[in-house]
Structure 1
Amino acid sequence: MPVTPAALNHAEDLADFVAASPSSYHAAEEVARRLEAEGFTRLNEDEAWPAQAGGRFVVVRDGAAIAWAVPAAASATTPVNVFGAHTDSPGFKLKPKPTTGAQGWLQAGVEVYGGPLLNSWLDRELTLAGRLVLDDGSVALASTGPLLRLPQLAIHLDRGANEHLALEKQAQTQPVWGLGTPADADLLGEVAAAAGVDASRIRGFDLVVADSARGAAFGAGDVFFASGRLDDLASVHAGTVALAAGAPAVVEGGASIALLAAFDHEELGSASRSGAAGPFLEDVLERVYAQLGAGIEERYRAFAASWCLSSDVGHSVHPNYAGKHDPNVRPVLGSGPILKINANQRYSTDAVGAAAWAGWCEAAGIASQEFVSNNDVPCGSTIGPITATRLGLRTVDVGIPILSMHSARELAGVSDLHDLSRVAGAFFSA
């Protein structure tokens, strides 16, 4: 099917979103910025929260953001529909004493974050981005723009490179960023200048490396979209767009609270104060329901009628490696979002959830596909089982199919990106 103008517009907006989100901290702030522009009120966790019924709110904790819209007629037992995603992506994180170098080159001392496809980071212009904590406790977000590069060794010096290229994570993944000697240079000074702060005031930092190239549609009929950090900013963006568009109707006459939960640290297992295994979502829900007059009994009743869509990317069938996929269940780009299924509960989908997903897709007017792993190639996991375990919400694992997962630049279908946001909208209004 031809790509619609609406889908292309959505992809262009996603390119803007990814460009504004080189780190999880930037992504959380971009979610808040966009929703505040749509009438959401930003709350602080250390302040009293206002009455919830009929309101739209967003709160940021480190690199995570949670936003929600509450029906005007909400009660203590009103259920919640949670669209869950994550803000972090695999790559590299800056180490302490980061200004290094050798042989007249300045380099950045980094360690591997999550499980990136290391070779994909070679020969790209890279950004250093994240947060700086200053001497007064304030936080400044920083993004240098193109600054670093991991130069590949020429084939003349490694004649076997095309047969097998394996990078040593310590010795061969330290990017260059200038010429000179470490004693006369300061990488944090470059970051501080980008943030407009005095480098001497920096007391702590969380900085990651990100591909600096902008996302773009391409291919015959513009069916493809390539970008860094589609895992999982594609889902964060889809949920943000859907919540912004659907919040007025939810407030006016919705039957459920519509909530977007964009967690950090999924690529590391989610075990942090801002990860899905941490207390962030539960903290927010307890405060929301307390404002609605809910005690323990009412909250359990509300949760029993609630849902969570855990949205993350999955694997499209690869035309050059078809044997790595299930021989019968083979999602492909451009044929719709995917329902993710795993017998060992690496994904949380069950029959009840599959039926509900079919209903939300039908309401949105979109097609859907299924994903299951080849038995010899076990799948990863998501925030879905974690959320289901923590809160007891019935959870369904979904997403979009992509190629080059965990590459510095991943590949999605333009129509799938738009369709995911459409079904998120149907879910929020269900």
Structure 2
Amino acid sequence: MTDLALDIASRVEAFVRGTVFGYEQDPRWETHGPSAELVAEMRAAAKAAGVLTPHILPGGKHLSQRETALVLQASGLSPLGPVAVNTAAPDEGNMLLLGRVATIAQRARYLAPLVAGETRSSFLMTEPASENGAGSDPSLLRTAARRQGDEWVIDGRKTFVTGIDGASCGIIMARTGEEATMFLAPLPNPAVRIERIIDTIDSTMPGGHAVVTIEDLRLTDADVLGEIGRGFEYAQVRLAPARLSHCMRWLGAAKRAHAIASDYACRRRAFGRLLIDHEGVGFQLADNVIDLRTCEQMIAWCADELDSGKRGSAESSVTKVAVSEALFRIADRCVQVMGATGISDDTVVARIFREIRAFRIYDGPTEVHKFALARRIRRSHLGADG
């Protein structure tokens, strides 16, 4: 680990603890995420503290995945931390993809203000299950882009589009013939209509998660992200690191929840002794320590794989499953150890529990990743024709 990353992570942690913790009871943290006013206020404070978008250095160089892990974990100590310092999904993943694939003009128009924390973005891939659209299986993609003169005309419906309400741009995945292509669309746009914001158990993403109708959206070749027909490939470029980033951020949140539950167990007395001295409680917290250390090592292993230049699809699937399941166990134990206090909003533990529960679904549910890993095992042992 470099001294630079250690210094950045230390400053991010100090900012989150000293400033962001104070916003956790702010009424502007609403049902569908922090309000635009609250986001702007927190980001202004992060900029003043020199920790805004800390994983991207001046000049545009990105920290390594191993270094990023330390920084994003520090930002995740509060559910609002990633939003405040601009390391949150979907912007963090979109910034990485734009940095790798976008043209110079696209970077100037979309990436620069994202890195500056001045705008937000969205990623439009998932489609309604009621229409048998793309979800965990991207091959079901129904949104289509067709040529009409010098324009691309896009029609379709998307769902669980994170943060599109208030976003300034969206990356849209659409079918172009037998393949898929990514398009960059400026927002808001009358051809991209938000039908509704979905009520979900999580509430940290500004703008929430929306159902969106795309009707007669007209774009040009200048709006194509990367090359035509390489959308599925670019999705993997984005998704593997994005899965790992979720692990990094929520590891920080789980550590926070564990610290609060441990403090509670070491102060609360029942049946003549501290809760920590009851085996049923102490062993749960001991299991948390084991799971936390395991998560750290899984994240480091996957980060090293990505830093070595590998695509990391299998490695990120393994890590996403192992870490999301372990972090949920940790959050659940914290709630249990704290009893009635654990299910209340008197501490941030209940909210962390809800957020981490959603993480077991986002970026592919556990079962889908296991299915993909099983197919790899089958190919390895039986071959393509086995």
Between 1 and 2, higher relative CO (CA 8 Å, sep ≥ 6) is seen in: 1
* The structure with more strand, counted as a fraction of residues: 1
Q: TM-score, normalised by structure 1?
A: 0.27
Q: TM-score, normalised by structure 2?
A: 0.29
